[in-house]
Each structure stands twice: as structure tokens, then as C-alpha cells.
Structure 1
Amino acid sequence: MSGDIVNGGKPVVTVTLNPAIDQTITVDALTPGSVHRARAVRHNAGGKGVNVASCLADWGTPVVATGLLGAGNAAPFETLFAAKGIADAFLRLAGETRVNIKIADLAANDTTDINLPGLTADDGALQRVRHTLHDLMEPGTTVLLAGSLPDGLPVDAYATLTADLTELGGRVVLDSSGAPLAAALATTGALPHCIKPNRHELEDWAGRPLPTTADLLAAARDLHRRGVAVVVVSLGADGALFVTGDTALRGRLPPVTALSTVGAGDAMVAGLIAAFQEDGDPETLARLSVAFAAAKLRRFGPNLPDPATVRALAAKVELTAMS
């Protein structure tokens, strides 16, 4: 347990509307058009919010996971939640949760993703999620809205949920991309408290290339001026940029040999939320989020080592003030 939760011990709530079962296949070297012999195959209950919940549970943070699951193959999720003490508030829909195939190439040290189609939801399903969140909420609760939207839900679903949760006193972290992220940022209603786009996602929102660090920082500051309190731009092996208030930092650790990059961005989000739970300052925010991501790289699946190991990594994060 981290022992540092100070927001009254309120559980974090993660929302995953389009979860997935991640099937990770490890090969020596991926060559398109060739036959491969897999070294290993692993199955993990996944989706951004589920991955974040898993990392937070490893850290010792109480967490409730909700969203939409296919009743036909919910077992991997139920097993994960039971093993890690994550409260299961997912709604079950008829059908099966999608499967994402991830091919881990040991020679190239990278991962190729093939995402299969998932469930189709409707407005009734979204309303059920809204009611579930209303029952879970109390002022000061941190809520993560994460991942893509399933077919059938409107593009502004996250904007709607953000407005609901903010009105109830929640602190919303949004980790999505493309049209759902753009809609949530274009709303005239409440904006998320925190977002974590990567370079490509920020360029997509900005509608232009952002080739330099100065370009990325300017776009992040623009989002902050629009009303997003904390903007984090993840840069992969180069760490991340953190813009909050008058502070802009770059945090990074030396590159590590990764067992699996799957879920590293989700681990970074978990680190952000862990810092929020501690009411951490911008430096704590940067250190924990970078450390969570680096610690996850050394493990398969959405898993962290013990909190002391993560804290030790956090202490080594190099921080640079950005002008």
C-alpha cells in the first residue's frame, strides 16, 4: 500500500466504455507475409480504464471500475478484479467484449496492434452508466473516462459524462483521442480537469504538425488557457511535458529495456491519478507519472512492482523547467 492517500480515502472511479481482452503474442522478429512461431501468448483483461485500475490497485489505491462489458466473455475481467481487489461496477451487455491482438517483436523492441470490432451500445446503455456513476460519486472523487467509444454511442458521450461528474463535484481525467476528445474539449460545458494526449493525439486536436518541443508546449498551454487545469503530453521514451497553473515541466528517465510497451501510457495516467490522490504538487505529478510508466515497461500487462520500487524510480526522474 502506498500509505499516502489524503483525499479522505475516496476510491478512484475508472470508466471504460469500450474495454478489450489484450492477446499479446511474442515473436523473435515480425516479418509481414511470413509464418511465425510464437514464443509466448498472454491474455489480459484490458482497455485503458481497466489498465489504469489495475496499476492503481498495485499502488494500493482503492478503485472502482465501471463501464460496459460483454456478458459472453467477462471472465478475464472478473478474475482480474477479484485478484487485485478492484470493485466491479461494470454493466453487462449481451455479446462479447472485443479482442485486441498485440504482436510483440523482440528484435525491433516494438509492438504491432490489431484491434478487432467490439460491442455495439445504445443510449440506454449510456444512461445506465450515468446512473451508476451518480450512485458512486461524492464531492472530490477522481473519475477517469478512458479509451474509445463503442459503436452506437454519440461522439459527445465523454462531454456529457464530464458535465455530469463535474456538477456532482468530481475531478475528471479524460484519456481519449480523435473525435471523442475533440468533442469533450469543444464543449461549452465543463472541461476535464486533466488530459494526457501523446504527440500524435495533440497534433490531431490542433489540426497541424507539432514538430518541436516548443510547438507541443504552446499547444498544451493553449488547452490550459481554455480551462483544462492539467495538460500532460506523453512523449514515449522521452518522458512527458506537464503544464499546470504557471508551471511547465519536462520529466523523463533514462530508457529501459521494455518487456512490453502495452499499457505504458495507461500506467502514466495511473501515476497522474495517484499524485492527485495525494494532492501532489506539479513536481510530484511529473515524478509519479513518469515512474509509473517506466516501472510498467519492466512487466507484462497492466502491472506495477511494489510501491517502494516505484518511489525509488520517481526519485530518479529528471525534471526540467520549461519556459
Structure 2
Amino acid sequence: MSGTIHTVTANPALDQTVTLDALAPGRVNLARDVRLNAGGKGVNVAACLADWGLPADVHGLLGRDNAAPFERLFADKGIVDRMLRLDGSTRTNIKLAELGNGDTTDINLPGIAAGETELAALSAGLAGIAAGDIAVLAGSLPPGLPVDAWARLCARLKRQGVWVLLDSSGPPLAAALANPPVALPDCVKPNRDELAQWAGRELAGLPDVVDCARQLQRRGVARVVVSLGEQGALLVDANAALLASLPPQRPLSTVGAGDALVAGLAAARRQGLDAADSLRLAVAFAAAKLQRVGPQLPPPDDVRELAAAVSLSTL
């Protein structure tokens, strides 16, 4: 399929990833390495897409005072920078990555305050996205941005004929899912906990997750993809419920794996893949990202090899 991929990141971050053998809370910890990467969900999605050979346009809200790492990333990967610049500094998120067990502890700071003026400017910047393009709305909202910001942007993009993928959580996700059917995203990608929070009930087993995803699909979201960590990922659409899994992976870092999954879904849409191959590619993107620190994928042939190893089952 043709069409440009756009990502929208309202609350980007500089990700400071500290690598250590094992985290000992309340004690002095010796780090092995530290890296600072330009990040935020939509930024990470765009970076993974660029590594796959599908550079995206990035939109969002970026602090002027420390924009340089983002600008370097965009220039290095051939990403089109359409981010708005705000006074102040983009937040820093601290990620403690444990080599021993693959766990990551996140310490996320609040972003630059924004409001209706910034939302209007962001919305205006999306006006040129053409029918048939793909838009990924990703991540949290910064302080002051209205809770229905994603809902309003989604409605606008749908009026423009854009295919919209939403990856958010909590009240901003709930607000978007409360849109009328014509203004709902075409695809959402919650994890199990985020889906349970939307549903207002525990999703203890896989049948509960499938049932809840089907409920959301019947409300008008054409495709629901639920990331399940080591269990893989679930895709529900009008035709089937598919579970994808890979042999156990030993992760170097779990940071950004969910964003890579979203990038895989966007790439699959851009390439016109069916549901099964879309899920295979998305899970391969996520698994490939486990072997990298920072917003990047291994070479495309490595990702294709992982995609070929994905097992699918129909539920």
C-alpha cells in the first residue's frame, strides 16, 4: 500500500538507560553502562520504522532547551521532523535495566506543561496528513493537556481518511475509546493490564483477554492487538482471534519492546499484510528490539528470520 507513516508523541522523553547486573533497592548499586537516547513512544516507533526502511514523519511537543539529541536521531535515521518546539526542556526518564533477569525498572518524570493552545497547534500540524496515510498516536499526555486530547486528534484524523493506530493507557485511552464509531481508532495496542484497566475488571486468563478484546472490537475498533509479554501477542479482528508466540528470548533490555510491536503493526499496514502476517511481523519487531538498547532494530534480515519463527494459533 502507499501512504506516509506519521507518529505523534505528545510527551517525549530522553531515556537514560542504566545497565546493571541486578538492582538492590535501598543499597548502593554499581552500574555497568549508561546511555541517553531520544525517546518517547512515537519517537521510538519512528526510529524502528526507519531501521526497517520506512522512515516516518514525527509530530509532537518537544522542549527547545534539549532538542539536540532528538534532532540528531531524526537526521541520522532520515526521519522528517515536524515536532513543535516549546519553551523549556523535554523530560528525562530513567530506566534501570538488569542484565541478570532482563527486568527493567522505569522512573518516568512529568513532561513540559501544555494546554489547549499547544493542542490546537498540534492539531493544525496534522491537517496536511492525507487520506490513506497512517498515523500512530502514542504514549502519555503531558501535564495540562486535556485528557481527551487523543480522542480529539483521532476524530480529526479519521475525518481526513487517515488509518489511526492508538497506543496509550488510562483515562486518555478510555476517552478515545468513548468516541462515536466513526471517530474510533482503527487499531489499538494495549497490554493486558491496560486492557483490564479500560474494562474495569481483572483479566486473569487468556480467555478473559480474548473476550475483552472482542468486546472492544464489536464497539467499532477494527483491530485490537494485546501485548502479553513472554506469552506473545493477541490479535482480534472481525475474522479471527490469533495468538502469536516465539521461543523464549533472553532480553538485553525490555525497554521499547512495546513500541517496536506498534512499529511492526504500522509497517505491516504500510505493506498491506493480512492479519496473520501483520501479527508475525509485529511480534518479530518486538523480539528483535529485546536484543538492543535504545530506539533501534537489528538488520531487516534478522527481523524476517524472527518473523518466520513466530508460531500462530487460532483461538
TM over 0.5: yes
Aligned twin of 1:46: 39
Aligned twin of 1:138: 130
Q: Percent identity?
A: 59
Q: Does 1:199 align with 2:192?
A: yes
| 8 Å CA contact retained: 2:55, 2:77 | no
Aligned twin of 1:231: 224
Q: What is the one-letter code of the residue matched to 1:183? A: A
Deviation at 1:297, TM superposition (A): 0.5
Partners of 1:127 and 1:55 in 2: CA distance: 28
Aligned twin of 2:71: 78
Q: Does 1:166 align with 2:140?
A: no
SS in structure 1 of the partner of residue 126 of structure 2 = helix
Q: What is the one-letter code of the residue matched to 2:221? A: V
Aligned twin of 2:210: 217
SS in structure 2 of the partner of residue 89 of structure 1 = strand
Root-mean-square deviation over aligned CA pairs = 0.8
Partners of 2:102 and 2:244 in 1: CA distance: 23
Q: What is the one-letter code of the residue matched to 1:98? A: R
Deviation at 1:140, TM superposition (A): 0.5
- If the length of structure 2 is used for normalisation, what is the TM-score? 0.98
State the Cα deviation string for residues 195-217 of structure 1 (Å, max 9, x = none): 01101001100000010110000
Partners of 1:210 and 1:30 in 2: CA distance: 29
Partners of 1:255 and 1:298 in 2: CA distance: 13
Aligned twin of 1:15: 8
* Aligned partner (choices 146, 164, 167) of residue 175 of structure 1: 167
Aligned twin of 1:267: 260
SS in structure 2 of the partner of residue 184 of structure 1 = helix
SS in structure 2 of the partner of residue 36 of structure 1 = coil
- If the length of structure 1 is used for normalisation, what is the TM-score? 0.96
Deviation at 1:312, TM superposition (A): 1.2
* Aligned partner (choices 231, 247, 271) of residue 278 of structure 1: 271
* Aligned partner (choices 143, 148, 151) of residue 151 of structure 1: 143
Q: What is the one-letter code of the residue matched to 2:159? A: E
Partners of 1:86 and 1:94 in 2: CA distance: 23
Partners of 1:130 and 1:85 in 2: CA distance: 23
Partners of 2:111 and 2:97 in 1: CA distance: 22
Q: Does 1:241 align with 2:199?
A: no
Q: Does 1:319 align with 2:312?
A: yes
| More moved, 215-224 vs 296-305 | 296-305
Deviation at 1:84, TM superposition (A): 0.3
Aligned twin of 1:100: 93
Partners of 2:10 and 2:88 in 1: CA distance: 14
5+ long unaligned stretches in structure 1: 1-6
Partners of 2:133 and 2:151 in 1: CA distance: 18
Q: Does 1:57 align with 2:50?
A: yes
SS in structure 2 of the partner of residue 50 of structure 1 = helix
Deviation at 1:155, TM superposition (A): 0.6
Partners of 2:55 and 2:296 in 1: CA distance: 15
Q: Does 1:68 align with 2:67?
A: no
Aligned twin of 1:4: none
Aligned twin of 2:294: 301
SS in structure 1 of the partner of residue 279 of structure 2 = helix
Partners of 2:252 and 2:102 in 1: CA distance: 8
Deviation at 1:62, TM superposition (A): 2.9
Partners of 1:91 and 1:218 in 2: CA distance: 40
Partners of 1:144 and 1:271 in 2: CA distance: 11
SS in structure 2 of the partner of residue 134 of structure 1 = coil
Deviation at 1:245, TM superposition (A): 1.6
Partners of 1:141 and 1:131 in 2: CA distance: 16
SS in structure 1 of the partner of residue 100 of structure 2 = coil
State the Cα deviation string for residues 255-308 of structure 1 (Å, max 9, x = none): 111111000000000000111011111111110000000011111112111111
SS in structure 2 of the partner of residue 246 of structure 1 = coil
State the Cα deviation string for residues 207-245 of structure 1 (Å, max 9, x = none): 000101100000000000000001001001110010112
